[in-house]
Chain A
Amino acid sequence: MSLVVYSVRSRILFSLVGLVLPLFGYAQEIANKQIDEVKVTGFATEHFMAGLKVQKIDSATLARFQFQTLADFLQFQSPIAFKSYGSGQLTSISFRGTSAMHTAVLWNGLNINSPMAGQTDFSTVPVLGFDEMSIQYGSAASCVGTDAVGGSILLSSVPKWKQKGTNFTIGGQYASFDNYNGQAGLRFVKISKSGLQFSGKTLLYGSQFNNHFNATERTDNTGRTYPIEPSETAQKGFIQDLYLKKKNGNTLSLNIWLTDNKLAIQPDVIAFREITQSKAYRVLSAYQFGNTNVKAGFIKDILDYGTGDFLNPSHSETDRYIARAEHEFSIKKKDSFQQTSLRIGGEFVHYVAKVDGYGGGSITESRQDVFALLRQQFTQKLTASLNLRQAFSTRYVAPFTPSFGLEYAVISNEKTQIKLTGNIAKSYRLPTLNERYWKVLGNINIQPESGLNKEVGANWKQVVSANLNASLGVNVYHNLIDNWTYWNPDKGYRVENLQQVLSQGFEITGSIKYLKDRILGGVLATYAYTDASQQKVYDVYAVDIIGKQLIYVPLHTLTGTAYVGKGDWSLNVQGLYNSERFITFDHSGRPFPSYFIVNSTVSGKIHFGKIQSNLIFQVNNLTDTVYPSVRKNAMPGRSFSLGLVFSGNVFNH
């Protein structure tokens, strides 16, 4: 068997090399005609995502919602559906109708999805943990790797070289239901006489959500009643980022992010108590010299689950050792828009898992990736990208994942910009460790999932007047995912590559922004239509579920933000509408009803001499909407919070 696997692997490797080599030739050919080699400053993958929708979240928004978790934050920023087990509890993502395992979550380029479950619990990731964020829609496996089937969430730490001296921040937040947040940190930049620049950030944060709702149930206006589940969540974290930049731009960096999240359900009765504690230690070191970037990373994920006294919990520990090297050839033709960027690289990840559920002992596994990403700007109007990636494992053949994207600017002048985009991409998801090694139920022969995503988009930006900008964008996609894994209840929940899921839909995003002097106002809204369903008949009863909307995926989603501001003060109102969500494959029983929630935020700055204070007053679930969690418990009603963050310059040189 392994012989066959290896021969298939080598054939794929060969064909990949065969595809990459002509690219080198092409680059070389261009290089011969070129004059300039361009220096690569950032190593952002987004550069090669031509034709894909990438939504950048601005730093002001991140600052405004710094006390939130990604789960609470993201659902208002984009039409992504979340599946929540309750306030402060497991919250998993469904991007464009796909499952929680089909969104890659990258921290400084590393996939931080749990290798056991293949997903991220967004309730354990605070917005404070990173400096920049992008939401990338659709398959980008060729750029990002495994899991980037429905989309990717890209989180990065960024040095602030322009900052002078050392800045401190210290802040806290008090919210309804006896919930607290706190943070303290320093950020500094130092420049030596020899021109060596040193920059860093240290941040400690923590929160305690007691969730004292003072009620046992909530009833909506149709009489539907949901119990309130008593729960407590304690979260703490530590961030250390260090950057050393030489005069020639070569940069050495170290990023550390430690998180600890402890959730207790029924916290007050020991016999009833159920505790889930997840810890993650993430360390990444990178060195960029010239157009080469090498990275070494280590991630340890610890998960303890237990009931009662929590003395002998079920323990899981997975270590990941990651090494990545990339080099970019970037050449630009003089006096022309023509520019070619070719990035080649490889990644090696070694896993060591000690998981009680795998039956004791430690399990090791290694996975490798090689990739070649090519971006070609032909004219001012036309850009294309061709990306190739192949993952390897000793156990299975991962699909070869090429992608091709195009961007064409139909109109591009000072007032009007109209751009058409298109992308076709293969994607894949490697099996999780649970799928492969879970005692009895896992399947060592489980195969990777593979997808084919096609999408087109149009984007129109218009300068209406000197103070008024507007934009409108439409993206339509068709994503077919095969070998979709299924823990089959008919077989005692053993996992199989059983299903095939088609997710198709579109997103319409519109915005209006007004800015005059110190007055700011605007609206940003996205509507998404997501039609995702199982396609394959695998047993006699699967007929009942074919073609039906997947569970917990709303067909219609609308998210919007409206804001007004003057000077340092602003009012921000966010809305979210989800249409009804089915909770059974065959749509039997009663679906979760549609719901609409509104949050509002007033934020402003007050200066006390050299110290600046940021004030954030939030009212969440303004309309006190009653809606259920996955376990049919009530999600929280209206809540208030007041946050204050002081910042200032110290040790100014």
Chain B
Amino acid sequence: MQFNSIYVRSLAVVSLFLGLNACNSTSEPEPSQPYDTGVFVLNGGNFFDNNGTISLYNPTTKTISYDVFQKENTRALSGGVAGYTEVDGKGLILVDNSTNGSDAVEIVSARTFKSVATIKDLENPRSVIKASTNKAYVVCWDVLNPDYSYKLGYVAVIDLTTNKITKKIPVQNGAEGIVIVGNEAFIGNTSYSGIKTITVIDISKDEVSGTVASAGAASNLIVDANNKIWCTIGKEIVRINPTSKVVETRLTAGTSTTKSPRNLTLNANKTAIFFEYSFSDSSDGYKQKGDIFSFNISDATISTSTSLIKRAFTGFGFDAKNGIIYGGITPSYKQAGYVIRYQTNGTLIDSVKAEIAPNGFLFK
């Protein structure tokens, strides 16, 4: 790359002016940017300290850069990190501040992590997803009622060409978790919401087009290789047909009376699902205890006789490109947590110190 360094430099300057379209205007090799590859670790932070961060882990050099938003923008995220995704060259960070009225979506350039825009007009953002080209959906709780119950939630539609919210689509109370199948978005709920429906949104119209009766609060939504939706409902893991909008299969995660499934995560070809089966142990100081298991999407039952990893995590992810499992550990919300890496068979690889409360990953 040395020989065309002048070209590289000039492109970098031009790309600043042309923004995201610059990369489409030429077939010449692009300069690599610091955030092109790696594992983003989403650190929730301690709620009242408003100190959520994103770290970037480089699995090749096994080094980690902390608080990359601060590093690139000389200002910190002003709240906890509730989610991150990338849409057409932009990264959307959901920021949850402990004061009502101060939440935000920070939009950064996905390749440089430089701030592009800040959107403030939303409350308690919980999940973000790419809806279509230059369009993102952010699922929000809105502010809680004075008795901490959930108001009607909404999906904020963000136009990434203007970096503005174009619409808020009202959805069910405690809305959280979103997947997209075809032209429809399916919005789940927090398990505490008591809501027994999944809302369906027509992406082309940005309107609610229907619901799925889910028999309980549907959480941890994912989409498998056959375009079927999987989620957890209470102690069950269920499969939903997004076309007929009915629950097709209900699998009991295990026989335990105390444990519940959570953190559903797909393998590389989306044919198997990892999940955590855990509980808060009242006989041992209410520590969260459990195991990671996996099952195949074609399995008729789920076996929890042999665990993959004997541990519960605050965050769980699978690096499909390299076939590595990532688990987040939070010793307390006032000290840095750790990310522990495992092979797909559950063999421990190594661990790295992250930041406060690592609870999510994005692999690129």
Contact = CB atoms under 8 A, between A and B. Distances in A.
Interface in B61-79: 66-67, 70, 74-76, 78
B49 A223 contact: no
A586 interface: yes
A545 B99 contact: no
Given A225-B75, A227-B78, A631 B331 contact: no
B263 interface: no
B353 interface: yes
A267 to B, nearest CB: 11
Interface in A270-294: 271-274
Contact of B66 (A230, A494, A541, A589): A589
A496 B143 CA distance: 33
Interface in A596-641: 630-633
A588 B353 contact: yes
B336 A632 contact: no
A551 interface: yes
Contact of A223 (B75, B288, B333, B355): B75
B102 A307 contact: no
Contacts of B50: 631-633
A544 B336 contact: yes
B49 A630 contact: yes
Given A308-B145, A631-B48, A539 B99 contact: no
A313 B288 CA distance: 31
B67 A489 contact: no
Give the interface centre of A225, A309, A632 by most chain B CB atoms within 10 Å.
A632
Contacts of A631: 48-50, 98-99
A309 B147 CA distance: 11
B286 A584 contact: no
A617 B70 CA distance: 40
Contact of B67 (A545, A586, A589, A632): A589
A488 B335 contact: no
Given A308-B145, A312-B147, A589-B53, A632 B76 contact: yes
A352 interface: no
Interface in B87-139: 97-102, 123
A274 B353 contact: no
Interface string B156-188: 000000000000000000000000000000000
Interface in B36-64: 48-51, 53
Nearest to B79: A632
Given A229-B99, A311-B146, A589-B336, 4 more contacts: A272-B99, A544-B331, A588-B355, A590-B76
A223 B97 CA distance: 20
B265 interface: no
The binding surface of chain A is classed by DSSP as loop
Nearest to B78: A227
A490 B336 contact: no
Contact of B334 (A224, A265, A585, A633): A585
Interface residues of A, number: 48
Given A308-B146, A589-B66, A584 B100 contact: no
B334 A491 contact: no
Interface residues of B, number: 41
Given A272-B101, A589-B66, A631-B99, A491 B285 contact: yes
Contacts of A584: 334-336, 356
Interface in B330-347: 330-336, 338
A311 B98 CA distance: 21
A489 B285 contact: no
A357 interface: no
Give the interface centre of A306, A310, A544 by most chain B CB atoms within 10 Å.
A544
B8 interface: no
A539 B331 contact: yes
Contacts of A633: 50, 99
B287 interface: yes
B100 A272 contact: yes
Interface in B299-356: 329-336, 338, 353, 355-356
Contacts of A541: 329, 331-332, 335, 338
Contact of A266 (B99, B286, B334): B99
Nearest to B285: A491
Contacts of A229: 99, 102
Given A274-B99, A307-B100, A631-B99, A583 B49 contact: yes
Interface in A186-236: 222-227, 229-230
A584 B285 CA distance: 23
A492 B144 contact: no
Interface string B211-248: 00000000000000000000000000000000000000
Nearest to A582: B334
Nearest to B336: A588
Contact of B146 (A226, A309, A589): A309
A4 interface: no
Nearest to B101: A272
A163 B355 CA distance: 62
B6 to A, nearest CB: 31
Nearest to B143: A271
8 contacts: A227-B97, A272-B99, A488-B285, A489-B334, A541-B331, A583-B51, A585-B334, A589-B66
A466 interface: no
B286 A632 contact: no
Contacts of A490: 285, 287, 331-332
B335 A585 contact: yes
Contact of B285 (A226, A266, A494): A494
A223 B73 CA distance: 9
A637 B191 CA distance: 44
B334 A494 contact: no
Contacts of A265: 99-100
A490 B97 CA distance: 23
B160 to A, nearest CB: 24
Contacts of B78: 226-227, 632
A540 B340 CA distance: 15
Given A588-B356, A631-B49, A266 B100 contact: yes
B234 to A, nearest CB: 20
Contact of B287 (A226, A310, A491, A544): A491
A584 B53 CA distance: 13
B146 A586 contact: no
Contact of B356 (A222, A266, A589): A589
